Amino acid sequence: MKELDPLVFLAVFQEMLGPLLWVMLLVIVVGTAAFIALLLKEKSINSRRLVRAELAGLVGGALALVLMAKVSSSGFTDAGGPADWFLIALVFGLGLAGTAILVYTVLGWRKPAAQ
């Protein structure tokens, strides 16, 4: 494969995740828009809310690894080289960051920070 075709990635993710792919993409788009709107509204980051969101992000990273193991044909014991472990770390990091952003956004819209 000499070229990176986004449609190939889309087809692979669609095959692995099924309809969950579209739900995840919708959550990503709506969550990102809500996060940006919250930042524009508050004009600052609330540190207490951020710490809570980061703690929830740890759970989200672990759940991302569980989802990865469930949809792939291999488990963690099959990871052999540095590229495999890098991918595992990347999945955990993306799950952590995505969950932290979503939790921060939900907490921010539910209970705005005191001015």
What pLDDT, in 10s, does the model give residues 61-83? 999 999 888 888 776 677 777 88
What pLDDT, in 10s, does the model give residues 15-60? 888 888 899 999 999 999 999 999 999 999 999 999 999 999 999 9
**Distance between CA atoms of residues 105 and 93, nearest Å:** 18
| Reported pTM | 0.82
What pLDDT, in 10s, does the model give residues 3-17? 778 888 888 888 888
pLDDT value at position 76? 67
pLDDT value at position 112? 67
Residue 115 has pLDDT above 70, yes or no: no
Residue 108 has pLDDT above 90, yes or no: yes
pLDDT value at position 49? 94
pLDDT value at position 2? 72
**Distance between CA atoms of residues 9 and 13, nearest Å:** 6
Q: What is the DSSP string of 43-107?
A: -S--HHHHHHHHHHHHHHHHHHHHHHHHHSS--GGG--SHHHHHHHHHHHHHHHHHHHHHHHHHH
Write the CB contacts of 13 (distance below 8 Å, at least 6 apart in sequence).
21
